[in-house]
Amino acid sequence: MPRTGSAPSRRMPLARWAPVLALLLAGGAAAEEGIPSLTGQPGDAARGRAIVATRQRGLCLLCHAGPFPEERFQGDLAPSLAGVGTRLTEGQLRLRLVDGRRLNPETIMPSYYRTEGLVRVGPAWQGRTILSAGEIEDVVAFLLTLRD
Amino acid sequence: MRRLLLALLLAGVVAEARESGFVLMSPETQAMQRDDTANPGMLWVEEGRALWDSAGCAGCHGDVAGMRGVAARYPAFDAASGGPIDLAGRIAQCQEARQGRTPFPRESEEALALSALVGLQSRGMPVAPPEDPRLAPALARGDALYRQRRGQLDLSCAQCHDANAGRHLGSSPIPEAHPTGYPLYRLEWQGMGSLQRRLRNCMAGVRSEPYAYGAAEYIEIELFLMRRAAGMPLETPAVRP
Amino acid sequence: MARTLINLPRTARRGEVIEIRTLIQHVMETGYRPGADGVVVPRDIVTRFTCLYNNEEVFSAELAPAIAANPFLSFSVVAAESGILAFTWSGDNGFEQTETRSLTVT
């Protein structure tokens, strides 16, 4: 039941129904909320690709394979990043990067933008997130371009 | 209740087929471990043979061949401390309490050499840390440490070595983490190292502060891992990539 | 004195080809690696290995920084006569060490 407005009747035009239909047709993933931009600025996809492809920065290729032909020995612990831009929305991608444990408490995906609840963090990393807010926006912008 | 669960857990691991990290190595590295004339760990064993005499072990223990079976039965219960003790700790304890000398420091070349020599005497024998009920609290702590998520990356040993053994972190196949070959020669280290050194590497890898060498936590983790590996053959001195 | 492991048969038939395996405990510090303080660690490697069989050189090798620590060298020799095999490793910082083994050829 909608929270606001009158109950729909058969005499309502299709346009009123379109957003609801679109949500239903998009499937279960659409029911999960994403999170909004961390910076309010659009991310840079080229910088994002550099972060993802450089395993010491993003760590991504240790677990994920993806469309990076110049990078050998990609891991197989996590789903491939190929096409992820078609499967997940910007908000959903951001949620998984920031704190994937909100979706799956058992995940091996590190939380790239969380410092609370961590145990015995090494001194070099205490109080720091794995990626900065701007870097996360860059990675999200890049992942959205992966549409194959 | 927790003890029952722990027993069931360990029984579950024992019931499944377990694999040493040896099987994940290239044929060349496996050949290096098998060949005592090429295994660099044997240099430390030879060092150990010299120390067995020069450091006075032979004075009480006689021929080192009498140490057969000893390394396979660690970590053991130590009456003096009321808790678990690993083989390196026992050697150090012997030097200090019974020889009245300063023990070789943890992870020193001499300590590794003696551990390698004594470990070699049990090579091929099944890992069999004693099922001493007095070790139960330490075993439970080791189990908890194995499952503790830690570091900036917030990962536990179990998440990789139980759930993802056989898959690949980058290029590296993830072993089941049975410490059957320590101390071992690691090609990455270009030298010999103990299980504690390896645990520290892993903790640094998840961006966690490692414990100091000799910490109780390492002995507890080792106790848990050796019980989990019970029955597998000891490989000391192993070679790993 | 670096620890060494040398393996060869004690006896051989005349004309038999024997395999000799050597291992020496020695760093092979490349000279390119920065230490924990960020300063490059100076090179410290074994640079040369020779085997003299009754004072005649029968095998030699030049080692470079790319070779791993604790270098393992294995080579074959024709057992011609009884005598002494002398193995010499030399390298940076004036490192030199010789080990000898006797071979009985029947």
The answer to whether A119 contacts B152, with C-beta atoms less than 8 Å apart, is no
pLDDT above 90: residue B174: yes
Note the pLDDT of residue A133. 97
pLDDT at residue B6, rounded to an integer: 61
Option in B47, B190, B191 nearest C3 (CB) = B47
CB contact under 8 A, C23 and B43: yes
Q: What is the pLDDT along chain A (148 residues), one digit of tens a residue?
A: 444 444 444 555 555 555 555 555 554 444 578 999 999 999 999 999 999 999 999 999 999 999 999 999 999 999 999 999 999 999 999 999 999 999 999 999 999 999 999 999 999 999 999 999 999 999 999 999 999 7
C49 forms bridges with which residues in the sheet? C61, C89
Give pLDDT tens digits for C6-40. 999 999 999 999 999 999 999 999 999 999 899 99
Is C touching B (3+ C-beta pairs, cut-off 8 A)? yes
Which pLDDT score, from 0 to 100, does residue A148 have?
Answer: 77
Nearest to C72 among B38, B47, B190 (CB): B38
Tell me what percent of chain C is helix, strand and coil, each rounded to the nearest 5: 0, 55, 45
Selecting among B14, B42, B144, B202, the annotated active-site residue is: B202
Residue range(s) defining the domain that contains residue B17: 2-240
pLDDT of residue A33: 83
Q: Name which residue leads in pLDDT, B7 or A74.
A: A74
Mean pLDDT of B56-60: 96
Tens digits of per-residue pLDDT, B114-156? 999 999 999 999 999 999 999 999 999 999 999 999 999 999 9
pLDDT of residue B9: 58
Give Cβ neighbours of residue C105 (< 8 Å, ≥ 6 apart).
C11, C12, C13, C14, C79, C80, C81, C82, C83
Q: Would you give the DSSP letter of residue C37?
A: T
Residue B160's pLDDT is what? 97
In angstroms, rounded to a whole number, what is the distance separating the alpha carbons of residues B99 and C65? 42
A100/chain B closest Cα distance in angstroms: 12
Full-model pTM: 0.88
B157 annotated as belonging to a binding site for a ligand = yes
Q: Is residue B1 predicted with pLDDT exceeding 80?
A: no
Q: How far apart are CA B77 and CA B74, in angstroms?
A: 9
Q: Flag if A75 and B151 touch (Cβ within 8 Å).
A: no
- The span from the CA of B119 to the CA of B125, in Å, is 10
**C5, C68, C72 member nearest B46 (Cβ):** C5
What's the whole-number mean pLDDT along residues B227-237? 97
**How would you class A134 by CB atoms within 10 Å of its CB: exposed for 0-12, middle for 13-18, buried for 19 or more?**
middle
User: DSSP string covering B88-120, please?
Assistant: HHHHHHIIIIIS-SPPPPTT-HHHHHHHHHHHH
Where exactly are the structural domains of chain C?
Answer: 4-105
Contacts of B205 in chain A (CB under 8 A): none
Question: For residue range B194-214, what is the model confidence (pLDDT) as tens digits?
Answer: 999 999 999 999 999 999 999
How many Cβ atoms are within 10 Å of B105's Cβ, its own excluded? 12
Helix or strand run (H / E) with residue C77 = strand C72-78
Mean pLDDT of all residues in chain B? 94
| B38 min Cα distance to partner chain C (Å) | 7
Count of CB pairs separated by less than 8 Å, A with B: 68
Domain spanning C4-105: which CATH class is it, in words? mainly beta
User: Inter-chain contact B168–A76, Cβ cutoff 8 Å?
Assistant: yes
Domain holding B37: CATH number?
A: 1.10.760.10
B40/C70 CB distance under 8 A: yes
Q: Which long-range contacts (CB under 8 A, 24 or more apart) does B208-214 make?
A: B208/A119, B208/A120, B208/A121, B208/A122, B208/B150, B208/B151, B208/B152, B208/B153, B209/A120, B209/A121, B209/A122, B209/A123, B213/B106, B213/B107, B214/B89, B214/B106
In the prediction, which pLDDT does A78 show? 97
DSSP element (H, E) containing C6: strand C4-7
**Residue B202 falls in the annotated catalytic set:** yes
Q: What is the pLDDT of residues C35-72, one digit of tens each?
A: 989 999 999 999 999 999 999 999 999 999 999 999 99
Question: Measured between alpha carbons, how far is residue A99 from residues A118, A122, B147 in Å?
Answer: 12, 19, 20
Q: Residue A23: its pLDDT value, please?
A: 52
Tell whether B134 is in a known binding site: no
Helix runs in C1-106, H state only: none
| Cβ separation B155–A110 shorter than 8 A | yes
All structural domains of chain A = 41-144 (1.10.760.10)
Note whether C87 and C51 are within 8 A (CB).
Answer: yes
Contact B172, B21 (CB under 8 A): no
User: What is the DSSP annotation of chain B?
Assistant: -HHHHHHHHHHHHHHS----GGGGS-HHHHHHHH-TTT-THHHHHHHHHHHHHHTTHHHHH-SGGGGTTTGGG-SEEETTTTEEE-HHHHHHHIIIIIS-SPPPPTT-HHHHHHHHHHHHTTTTSBP-----GGGHHHHHHHHHHHH--BTTTTB-HHHHHTTSTTSEETTEEPP-----S-SEEETTTTEEE-HHHHHHHHHHHTTBPPPPTT-HHHHHHHHHHHHHTTTSBP-PSPEE-
Task: Considering only the beta carbons, identify the residue of A75, A119, A128 that sits closest to B170.
Answer: A75
Nearest to B73 by CA among B238, B192, B229: B229
Chains that touch A (3 or more CB pairs under 8 A): B
Question: How many domains are there within chain B?
Answer: 1
% of chain B residues with pLDDT over 70: 93
The pLDDT value given to residue B17? 79
Q: What is the pLDDT of residues C68-86, one digit of tens each?
A: 999 999 999 999 999 999 9
Percentage of residues in chain C having pLDDT higher than 90? 98
pLDDT of residue B183 exceeding 80: yes
- Which pair of tokens denotes residue B67? 């140490």
Q: Chain C partners of B193 at a C-beta cutoff of 8 Å?
A: none
Chain CA centroid to CA B97, Å = 23
Residues B153/B232, Cβ–Cβ less than 8 Å: no
Strand arrangement of the beta sheet that strand C56-62 belongs to: C11-12, C95-105, C83-91, C46-53, C56-62
